[in-house]
Amino acid sequence: MTETARDISRLIIRVSIGGVQIAHGAQKLFGWFGGHGLQGTGAYLESQGFRPGRQSALAAGLGEAAGGALFALGLATPAGGAAIVGTMGVAAAVHAPQGFFATEGGMEYPAVLALMAGALTLIGPGNISLDQLLGGQLDRPWMRAAALAAAAAALAAVLTKRQRALAEQAALADQETSA
């Protein structure tokens, strides 16, 4: 495969994943594309253990929309890729109880998006990118690994906080049932 073919492939992957993320973010932030906006998404996230729900919806929407835009453009690719890995990692965890396959509401789709974004972040955006045009100032190899490590740490922190909230919610429900 030629270097040009590799660069075109990276561009297609970046724009595809980035575009999907922008649309997902717009659903959460503005209610576009059949989404529920901050209010509806916030209520859902609150029910899933993400507190406060509205702020969680804002963070998820911004992470998806801004991360997706950066990724699609190949601009600050480590930051954009890390945002996608983080938000899709959380989404995969939320969908995991329904199993693997997306047809059953499972984690398949967000997991694939997270893994593909992470892999492309590690190898870089290619020559058809704003990062390349800027001489790699916002995309150094060490930044790629550091950004993905930070995304993994943030993902672990968010999921730990969620788990605590769900445990508290279950304890309250048990108290109400026994009262």
The tens place of each residue's pLDDT in the chain, 179 residues long, gives 799 999 999 999 999 999 999 999 999 999 999 999 999 999 999 999 999 999 999 999 999 999 999 999 999 999 999 999 999 999 999 999 999 999 999 999 999 999 999 999 999 999 999 999 999 999 999 999 999 999 999 999 999 999 999 999 888 888 888 86
The predicted pLDDT at position 127 comes to 97
The predicted pLDDT at position 174 comes to 83
Q: What are the extents of the domains in the chain?
A: 3-178
What element of type H or E holds 60? helix 53-73
The predicted pLDDT at position 118 comes to 97
Q: What is the DSSP string of 15-39?
A: HHHHHHHHHHHHHHHH-GGG--HHH
Instruction: Report the alpha-carbon distance of residue 112 to residue 54 in Å, rounded.
Output: 26
pTM: 0.93
The predicted pLDDT at position 65 comes to 98
Q: Which residues of 39-49 are buried (b: 16+ CB within 10 A; e: fewer)?
A: eebbebbbebb
The predicted pLDDT at position 150 comes to 97
